[in-house]
Structures are given as C-alpha cells and as structure tokens.
Amino acid sequence: MIERIKTSADYIRSKVDFQPEVGIILGTGLGGLVNHIDIKHTLPYDEIPSFPVSTVEGHAGRLIFGLLGGKKVVAMQGRFHYYEGYAPEQVVFPVRVMKMLGIENLFVSNASGGINSSFRVGDLMVITDHINLIPNVLIGKNYNELGPRFPDMSEPYSKALTALATDVAAEKGIKLQYGCYVGTTGPTFETPKEYGYFKVIGGDAAGMSTTPEVIAARHMGLPVFGISIITNAAFSGQKSTHEEVQREGAKAEKRMTALIVGMLERM
C-alpha cells in the first residue's frame, strides 16, 4: 500500500506544481466551496493512479489545488464511502496521499442527521468527538511509515482548531453547535430506534462518512477540524432523502464557507 500511496503522490506532483498546506474534504452538497478557491490546478480522480472514483450524486470527483483564505489548499470535491463497496483503506487512500503531498492540517465536512433535540435543520455543528460504527480502517497490517500500531484517539478533533472556529464564528455572527458525530455504514438512513440508540450512547448527529478519514489522519499525526451541516432532523417524523440532504447542505454552505475561510486567514 505504501508504494501505491507514493505512486499516486508522485503522479500528482508530476502534473501539479503546488505544495498544499491544508487538505479539505467536502461532503454531500458542499462542493460549492470550491467556487471560492483561487484555483491553480484541477485533477480528476480517474486520472490519478490507485484513486477510487466517487459514485455518489453531489460528489464531483476531482482534486482542486489553489488559494483559500491566503492558504495553499487541496480540496477533495467528492469523497468515498464504505457503502459504495470500497474497502476501508480505499476510503482513506486520498487522505494518506494528501499527507504525503505535505498537508499539515485536515478539514472535513459532512451532511448529517441531527440527533440532539436542540439542533435545527441548517445548523452548523463543530465535531468535538465521534463514535465510529464503520469497520476500523486500521484493522490489518500496520505501516509504521504512516503511524503507530495503536494510535491515541483522546483528541480526534483538534481543540486548538475548535477554539479558532469559535472565535471566528463569534466575529462573523455565525451560530455554532458542538457535538459528537456517529459514523455509520449506510447507505440506508437510520430507523427511529437506531437514532434513539445513537442518542443514548452519546451521539448528537449521525452520518455515513468522516470517521474513517479522521482515524487515518490522526494515525498519521494530522490535526483535524470537523464540521457537520445538519440537513435533516432525526425525530421530525419526516422521511429523509438524498435530495433533501443536498438541498439543505447547499443552503448552509455559505456560512460554512465563511467560517472555514475565516479560520484559514487566521491560521
């Protein structure tokens, strides 16, 4: 696997003369953030050796290199999910490649179902912890070049970046929620009892991504900032659809973009 990661990174370097400082993963309906990037290079996933190709509507499937908030970023416009049939190591393969390209921080975003009764559709939730119910990406052979066999997960999401987000949100008048994200396999939306279970075990929002990428990032020592857009309410009695998730994600995207840009400007 190490050789495949190196091959992908070498190919990207051969096509893109750009040294990213921050990696950004854009979730369902959130790909519009790239419209705010001063784009220098674009690279479709299907041109990169060993890269998976996203099969989900709303995930464009390309790497965007450019400037955002005065920082050099590489943004994944479209991510990969366990429910698409990819092995866990394929899901996080791009995170490992971005680390090899030189990123020093990782920003992850997603659309999620709100479990906390105080949350409303359209809220932004800063992820402070997670509960991973997706097969752990680190099961199997450990690669010491990537990280230790038993990585610490006492701070999966950077407290420093969370504090920075709080300061920026206060300055810009952006309301933030904070909570624990539950990562599930999907592709079904949760049953009422499953949502109830997630609430009992400490979850505030649930989705079908993010936790594998965060585990891989922390394994490699990358600080992570995570944010969820609450696109549907768990106990509303309304049926959940992918179209609804995309629609609500797009509505909240402007505030999420303002927050991320403000954070990058101050990093």
88 neighbors 212 (Cβ within 8 angstroms): yes
Mean pLDDT of 204-225: 98
pLDDT at residue 164, as a whole number: 98
- Asked whether the predicted pLDDT for residue 32 surpasses 90, the reply is no
Cis peptide before 94 (omega within 30 of 0): no
Mean pLDDT of 177-191: 95
Mean pLDDT of 162-186: 97
- Which among 99, 215, 91 has a CA at the least distance from the CA of 157? 215
Mean pLDDT of 238-247: 63
203 neighbors 182 (Cβ within 8 angstroms): yes
pLDDT at residue 244, as a whole number: 62
Tokens 């400490």, located at residue: 202
Chain centroid, CA 120 distance in Å: 21
Cis peptide before 187 (omega within 30 of 0): yes
- Asked whether the predicted pLDDT for residue 188 surpasses 70, the reply is yes
Mean pLDDT of 25-40: 84
What CATH number does the domain containing 228 carry?
A: 3.40.50.1580
Where in the sequence is the domain holding 44, given as residue range(s)? 2-266
Mean pLDDT of 8-26: 96
In Å, how far are 15, 23, 32, 166, 173 from 250, measured between CA atoms?
31, 21, 8, 22, 19
Q: How many domains does one find in the chain?
A: 1
Mean residue pLDDT of the chain comes to 91
Give the pair of three-digit tokens for residue 14.
């051969």
Burial class (CB in 10 A: 0-12, 13-18, 19+), 35: exposed
pLDDT at residue 220, as a whole number: 98
pLDDT at residue 87, as a whole number: 93
What are the backbone angles phi and psi of residue 113, rounded to the nearest 5°? -90, 130
Q: Measure the CA–CA gap between 240 and 202, rounded to whole angstroms.
A: 22
pLDDT at residue 53, as a whole number: 76
- Asked whether the predicted pLDDT for residue 7 surpasses 90, the reply is yes
Kind plus residue range of the DSSP H or E element containing 62: strand 62-68
pLDDT at residue 126, as a whole number: 98
Side-chain-side CA neighbours of residue 106 (13 Å): 30
Mean pLDDT of 60-67: 90
Over residues 69-93, the pLDDT tens digits come to 999 999 998 889 999 999 999 999 9
Among 40-54, 94-108, 159-173, 206-220, the minimum mean pLDDT is found in 40-54
pLDDT band for 45, please (50, 70, 90 cuts): very high
Type of residue numbered 194: E
Percent of the chain surpassing pLDDT 90: 79
pTM for this predicted structure:
0.93
Chain centroid, CA 228 distance in Å: 9
List Cβ neighbours of 184 (8 Å cut-off, separation of 6 or more): 133, 134, 190, 194, 206, 207, 208
- Which among 78, 80, 138, 100 has a CA at the least distance from the CA of 10? 100
